[in-house]
Structure formats: structure tokens, C-alpha cells
Amino acid sequence: MAQTPRLPELSACPTCAEPLEPGDLFCGGCGRDLTVAEQPAEPTPAAASGANGAAAADPGLPPGWFRDEAEGPEGRTAGAPDAVGGEADPRAGEATPPLASPPPPAQPPVRFDERAPGAAAATPTVPDHPETLADFTLGDPESDGFHLAAPESDPDHYRLAEPLGSETRADEFETEGPAQPPQGGDPRAAAAQSGDPRAALGTPDPAAAEAKTVEVKHCVACRTGTIDADGYCENCGHAQPRERDHVERELGGADAPAVAAVSDRGLRHHRNEDAFALSTADLPDGGSAVIAVVCDGVSSASRPDEASEAASIAARKSLGASLPLGMHPQQAMHEGLVAAAHAVSALAADTGGIAGAHQNAPACTIVSGVIANGILTVGWIGDSRAYWIPDDRTAPAARLTEDDSWAAQMVAANLMSEADAYADARAHAITGWLGADAHEIDPHTASFKPEGPGVVLVCTDGLWNYAEAAADMAAAVPADARTRPLHSAQVLVGHALDGGGHDNVTVAVLPFPSADVRARIPDMA
């Protein structure tokens, strides 16, 4: 059994030299604890342990006591078992003073809102919590159990919340390559790249401004007045067209134009439902052919503008493919009309599966003229017409087509005179057209060999309503129509507009004989 350690006998306090009596545990003068012996010099690490690695006796502890390194500098509490004998300390229950000198005073905590006297200014790294910065102190990460996670270990922790109602789409951003600058760019960067400080202010370059030429447009009706900012002629007051409302084309050189056409919306319709297509084709014998196709959409049908456009393009392509193969122009014309009919019928397939939708399928009429090897060939379905106007106005003009209409049938059956038939409200009811709801198509073709020069007109009823007879049409055609076909087409459209413009107006003018335009001009629609 371990014995109680004997305390040293002191006659005076080692600190203040106050006389002591036997059994005193504390000095009456300074209050020193007399049970604690004087601390010798701190041993070297080599002397701190025995030869066998056992812990050496701590001089700050009574004999037989050993310090447990896991318990810190305060040692065991009173009454703890002896490290050797396992007996309890007889002084259990008493307040045990520290068994060793107290550790050096800890450094005062560092606050982010204060600076130690004389310390250099520094910017600590702190978490993103501004509301707690005033009360947050840094401690030792090991002893306090506190550490900051590496940013890459939790990439979503510091992600900013998205604004309410926002949606992020992957296709709105580039997945590779450098970051793109904001739309519009930095005006300072533009100025730096161009070297012109006016670029930053958006000031135009005077030299560039002078280089720009303003195209002056003239009225399509009177052809003399200029157009104001609202789109009206300042001379006659006609509203000017937009996009397809007014289209003009001419093929061939300025010295020898081959064909020209003009189409206009008119003054009563809200859109232009007419269409035309112009083209040339190389013939096997080395010559060339000139092609003009004019179509008139049926207003009572659905999508008449699409029907006329599809028919004109299909007929032009078919003629352009057949003629170079040596096919006779009249046979090529027949195949062109059939191709146009198929193109319009195909538009009716887009009905969404609605039963009976074919009853109001897209529909149009068509007329076409081809000049090749001194032969004039025309083809038509419906009431669009072709006229021959000779240069010699003493020679008679002629209408080259017969209408597929109610009025034409009345005249052909000798039931009404031509004047009375066309004055009837049913005169323009057509009996032949292109479309899925046409019971059958009956392409009409005819070939002519004029004796002298002149022009061929292919037009819609928007024009011939104001010049129905051939003589009236010849009176409206300018005398220089063969050398200036585009100007003549413009004049004829103006004639219809001046007469009231109740319908869309389209006319193509083909000079005869045609100029040699082999491989010089592209197809146009």
C-alpha cells in the first residue's frame, strides 16, 4: 500500500520569511501554499524520461504522482487513483490548487472590427456573413474544432440564388470558346479598334455619309411624282405598294430587252393575289426562247396568293426544262400547264385532315407566252388573256385566247351578244381553273407566226377589264413598247389604276421577234 507523502518541514516562509509553526499549510503573511516545494530548473527532454521510455517524475507533483498528458496542465483532480498503487488521495474533496505553474497567458482574441495597437493593417479572409463580422473571432482550428471548407469541396454553397421568375436555357449560352461581350459592345472598345473617337459617340463619318446615295422613287401610277414619308405620291396621291403589292422585272440587256412584267395590288384589294414568272431557255439549235407566265389567284378560294405563285413557278420550270430538250413549244406549253395544275392541287393537301376542306382549295388561272425560233405559242386555263399588238398600228391587233368563263360560253352558244354577256354580273364566273377542286383541267394551247414585229401581252383580268377589246388594248400600249417593254408594262398598269383599280393588275410584255439572250440572263419569278 502506498504511504501518504511527507511534507517538508519549514520554519519560515520561503517567500516572505514569515515564521511558521509546525503543521501550517499556508503562510500567514503572504498566503503561499507551503505544500508546494520550490520548482527546480526545467529538465531537458533527455532527462524527462527513463531508459525504458517511462515517464519521469514531475517535480511539480508530490512524490508518487504522475501527470497524465491527456489531462492538460492541471493534472488529476483530488481523489484520483494513484498512478502506482491505485489508492485514492487522502485529500479528496478538498480544493486542489494547481499542481504546476500556470501556462503562459493566452493571446487576446482577434476581432475583425478591431486592430491590435501598433499592428499593421491586414485584410483577413472571412466567410460571407456580414451580419456576424462584429462578433466573430478566429480561434485555433485544431482546438476549437472549427475549419473552413475548401471552396471546391462545396461548389454550390456560395452560388447566388437566381432571380424570381427567371429561367435559364442551355441554348442561350456558348458552351465553348471565349466569353462573348454584351450585345451592342462597349463603345470605347469600338473607338479603340477604329481609331476614331466618333465611334464611341455614334457620330457618323461625314465621308461615309456623303458616299451614300438616296434613291428617289417615283409614283407607280403617275410615274412623275415623288413619294412622301407616309408612302403616298405627292403628285397624284396614290398610296405606294409594299413588298409583293408592286413588283417589276425585266430580262435582257438595256439595248435589247427580252421580256418585262409588272404586277400591282390595285386600289381595292388588301393584297396582291397575282403572280408572274419570267425566264429564258437555250434551244438545241443554238437559239433562245423567252418565257412569261402570269397567274391570277381566285379570291373566293383559300390562299389564292399561294396558288398563283406556285403555278407560275411550276410552269416556268417545266417550260425551262422541256424546251432545251428540243420539245415542240406547243407540247412543252401543254406540259407546263399540267405541271402548274399539279402544283396548285398539292397545296390542298395542307388541310389538317378536315373533311370537305378540298371544296375551298387554293385556285388560280394561268396564261403563258413563249417566243422561240420566230414562233409565238400561248397557253391558258381560265380567263387570263394574251393579246398581239403590232408595231404598225394600222394593222389589226388580236386577242389570242378564249376565256373559260360564263360570259364566253354564252357568246359561244349564241345566247347573248359579247357586250351583253360581259355586262352581266355573272360574266367573270370562271368555268376553268387550276386547283384540287377542279373537276378536270383542259389546257388550251395555240401557236402563231406574226408577219411583222410587235409585242405580245399576257395579262390578268385586272387589266383587260379596262381595255377588253383588242383595239382598246392596242390604244393603251405605247408606240415604243417593243423597245421599252418595262415602261410599257408600267403604263398599262397605270391605265388600270386610273380606271379604278378594282382588281389586282398584272401584265407581261414580250417583244417579237425576241432578242438573242442565250445564256445571258437567269430565271426570275
- In CATH, what number is assigned to the domain containing residue 464? 3.60.40.10
- 370 and 231 belong to one structural domain: no
- 274 and 237 belong to one structural domain: no
In a domain, 344, yes or no: yes
Which amino acid type is present at position 127?
P
Domain boundary among 207, 228, 243: 243
- 232 and 269 belong to one structural domain: no
Cβ–Cβ < 8 Å for 417, 411: yes
In a domain, 25, yes or no: no
- 237 and 312 belong to one structural domain: no
- 278 and 425 belong to one structural domain: yes
- 239 and 251 belong to one structural domain: no
- 339 and 263 belong to one structural domain: yes
- 327 and 426 belong to one structural domain: yes
In a domain, 158, yes or no: no
The CA-based angle 208-211-216, given to 5 degrees, is 125
- 307 and 372 belong to one structural domain: yes
Cβ–Cβ < 8 Å for 514, 371: yes
Structural domain that includes position 413: 246-350+359-512
Match 351578244 to its residue by C-alpha cell.
Answer: 417
In a domain, 233, yes or no: yes
- 251 and 223 belong to one structural domain: no
pLDDT tens digit at each of 525 positions of the chain: 444 455 566 778 888 877 877 777 777 777 777 776 665 555 544 444 444 444 455 555 555 555 544 444 444 444 444 444 444 454 444 444 555 455 555 555 444 444 444 444 444 444 444 444 444 444 444 444 444 444 444 444 444 444 444 343 333 333 333 444 444 455 455 545 555 555 555 555 555 544 455 567 888 788 889 988 878 899 998 877 677 899 999 998 777 789 999 999 999 998 999 999 999 999 999 999 999 999 999 999 999 999 999 999 999 999 999 999 999 999 999 999 999 999 999 999 876 555 554 568 999 999 999 999 999 999 999 999 999 999 999 999 999 999 999 999 999 999 999 889 988 999 889 999 999 998 888 999 999 999 999 999 999 999 999 999 999 999 999 999 999 999 999 999 999 999 999 999 999 999 999 866 544 444 445
- 228 and 300 belong to one structural domain: no
The rounded distance, in Å, linking the Cα atoms of 309 and 363 is 11
In a domain, 483, yes or no: yes
Report the number of distinct structural domains present in the chain.
2
CB atoms within 10 A of CB 435: 24
For 387, the 3-state DSSP assignment is strand
DSSP notation for 155-183: TTTTPPPPPTT----GGGS-SSSSPPPPT
- 489 and 433 belong to one structural domain: yes
In a domain, 284, yes or no: yes
In a domain, 453, yes or no: yes
Please give the grid coordinates belonging to residue 178: 471565349
In a domain, 296, yes or no: yes
